[in-house]
Amino acid sequence: MARIVSYPYDNDIKDADAWIGSEASTTRTKQYTAEAVAKYLNINGKISIGAQMVFKYVQQPLTEVGSFSITSGGVNNVPFANITTLTLSMTDRGNQNTVAFLDYLVGSDILIGEQNEISTFGQYDVVSYTVSAGDATYYDLVVNYKGGNGVLTIDKYYDIMNFVLSADAEDKTFVFSQGVPSLQWTVQHNLNKFPSVSVVNNNNIVINGEVTYIDTNNVQLNFSAGFAGKAYLN
């Protein structure tokens, strides 16, 4: 065999290209393809990407580090839209402890996406993140589905990361029109927050009233006299 330095460099790497190496467990000489090395790096989180974690979707019971499942039991091909609660290992495939980071994301959005399948994903709002009752090395993640495409598949690997659409990051404004004069206006704005409220009548004169926030998506406006106009919420 010629000396390694005598072989030409190849910068056009293909998936089937191979290297010679030693298997750690047996010290035997083996071939490793570029595709296999890339897959190993991806599923084990060996390349650090900020705010990204790698987990394997499995059936319960959960026994594998870096695994997650539907809390009620892992089901194959479950639509992302049907997911409300997940149980995750406290460490991901890269052996990172994810507890503090996921706890910090409560109230924020996450994206769960299948590796190498960019169009298979789900976006969720994180409602809560608490230690599982049966095993302190696992945590229950309660989520609200916001959008996505596809299903979770058993034994596939998924990236979980903090995610914000540019539209979500903007300061949204909702305009409500009250066509019939009324003392009380009930406004469903779906801004998912307690917005500021400005009210004008049909002559664009500002009218002050009592604002009651029913929840983060609904508000009730009460006035001393009935009138028609618009409410601006942002």
pLDDT digits (tens, 9 = 90+) for 164-201: 876 555 567 899 999 999 999 999 998 888 888 999 99
154 and 220 together in one domain: no
More confidently predicted of 154 and 43: 154
Q: Are residues 115 and 215 in the same domain?
A: no
In this model, does residue 72 exceed pLDDT 70?
yes
Assess whether 68 and 149 both reside in one domain: yes
Three-state DSSP at 117 gives: coil
Of 162 and 37, the structure prediction assigns the larger pLDDT to 162
Q: What is the pLDDT, as a whole number, of residue 169? A: 52
User: Does residue 16 form part of some domain?
Assistant: no
Task: Tell me the β-bridge partners of 68.
Answer: 57, 88
Q: What is the pLDDT of residues 100-149, one digit of tens each?
A: 999 999 999 999 999 989 999 999 999 999 999 989 999 999 999 999 99
Mean pLDDT estimate for the chain: 88
Asked whether residue 202 is domain-assigned, the answer is yes
Percent pLDDT > 70 in the chain is 93
Closest CA to 86 of 144, 41, 44: 144
Q: For residues 69 and 50, what is the distance between their CA atoms, to the nearest angstrom?
A: 23
**DSSP code, position 24:** T
Q: What is the pLDDT of residues 146-165, one digit of tens each?
A: 999 999 999 999 999 998 87
Tell me, yes or no, whether 146 and 196 share the same domain.
no
Contact 175, 231 (CB under 8 A): yes
**Contact at 8 Å (CB) between 221 and 213?**
no
Residue 27 lies in a domain: no
Report the DSSP beta bridge partners of residue 218: 188, 215
* CA dist., res. 99 & res. 93, Å (int): 14
- What is the C-alpha to C-alpha distance for residues 198 and 105, in angstroms, rounded to an integer? 31
**Beta bridge partner(s), residue 151:** 79
For the domain that residue 161 is a member of, what is the CATH number?
Answer: 2.40.30
pLDDT of residue 213: 92
What tokens does 131 get?
A: 């230690």
pLDDT classification of 8: cutoffs 50, 70, 90: confident
**Residue 204: which domain range?**
171-233
Number of domains in the chain: 2
Largest CA distance in the chain: 96
Last residue of a domain, one of 167, 192, 216: 167
What is the Cα–Cα distance from 99 to 226, expressed in whole angstroms? 52
Q: pTM of the prediction?
A: 0.62
